[in-house]
Amino acid sequence: MSTPRVAMQDNEIFTAEHKQIRETVRKFANSLAPHSEEWDEAGIFPREVFKQAGDLGLLGIGHDEEYGGLGLDWWYTAAYAEELVHTNNAGVNMALMVQSDMATPIINAVGSDEVKREFLEPAIAGDKIAALGVSEPGGGSDVAAIRTTAKRDGDDYVINGQKLWITNGTRADFITLAVRTGDDGFGGISLLVFPTDVPGFTIGNSIKKIGNKSSDTAEIFFDNCRVPRRYLLGDENAGFYHIMTNFQGERLIAAVGGVAGMERSIRGTLKYASERKAFGRPIGKFQVWRHKMVEHLTSVEAARRLTYWAVDQFVKNPMGSTRAITMSKLFVGELMQKVLYDCMQLHGGFGYTTEYPIGRAWVDGRLITIGGGTTEVMKEILVKVEGL
């Protein structure tokens, strides 16, 4: 459903209903924040966090109400992404967003009623954990290079291959899996739901990352894994289209969350700068830092307007929003490197510790120029869109 809203230039895009979502997410995020450092050190967070999010309706904001979703448009997802930054833990946020906005939208869009009952409904409730299986050792953004195969055998598919960089991969109950069912190239890609209790499925070591540490990331392997053909999502060999549509939502939620994260880091830095003294006065009184921070606030506001334009385009026409979303992710990703660098620098030695959130934010924020399509891939997409 879509809710009327006033013009963007009035800076009042969101309605009272969006505010309710915001308040729910903010309260939830604040309840998790005290555990942030503990979960980063552990390299994982408790499974019950998914259930808590599911009980609040946060894992199915845009999904069909028939299966437990809220049936709301993407402006509500934007509000969710903006408020979730208050967890102070990018790994938790990424894991939850993989569940809500990367692994399950395809099932919601083209899965059969039977598949939705078996997988989507418990994922929305937080009873099952979902992962998205697209990237492989030989390719991430290059979906046409997928080599994991699914061969028909009677009423089953037999799957062989491996996937890499799989968020939630060490404990997912099912994977929305991209496989090759046809010839080489984008025309031979299909999607299916893969339950992880299938014989022949194995999980490699959890990948140790420099950031987003509480989010488990795994390499996974398929050795003659057999699943029923009824787990196919949409038509066979038509998966590339759905993956590309899914990428738009993944990139957009990264951009929206990135803007909110930058502003939160700046505000926290300004508070620190008003309290920390050097040479007899607060650091924030030095002109160099006052100027840097207002420049960054200006840039972040520009980034917010850009992402809101992209959200508007995505709500109106998901496949017609490539230009806006790609520009948003490119701009936000590169801006984040500058903003978080300066925020960390202002903190001095404390910024290089885990005592203050800015150190973790700086490391975590590096991923946005890599995950969901690198900065270089974003530029190449825009080159094609602009006919250059």
Residues marked active site are found at: 250
CA distance 14 to 82: 12
3-state secondary structure of 364: helix
Q: Radius of gyration over alpha carbons of the chain, in Å?
A: 21
Q: What are phi and psi of 235, to 5 degrees?
A: -85, 150
d(CA 46, CA 31) in angstroms, rounded, equals 13
Burial class for 4, CB neighbours closer than 10 Å (0-12, 13-18, 19+): exposed
CA angle 312, 144, 205 (to 5 degrees): 95
Residue with tokens 């948003």: 328
**In angstroms, what CA-CA distances link 160 with 141, 149, 166, 198?**
20, 5, 16, 12
In the block, residue with structure tokens 């509480």: 214
Which residue in 102, 33, 96, 88 sits closest to 59, CA to CA? Answer: 96
Through-space distance between the first and last CA atoms of the chain, rounded to whole angstroms: 37
Residue 358 in tokens: 């800015």
Inter-helix orientation angle 287-316/74-84, to 10°: 150
How far apart, in whole angstroms, are the C-alpha atoms of residue 352 and residue 329? 26
SS3 state at 149 = strand
The number of residues making up the chain comes to: 388
SS3 386: coil
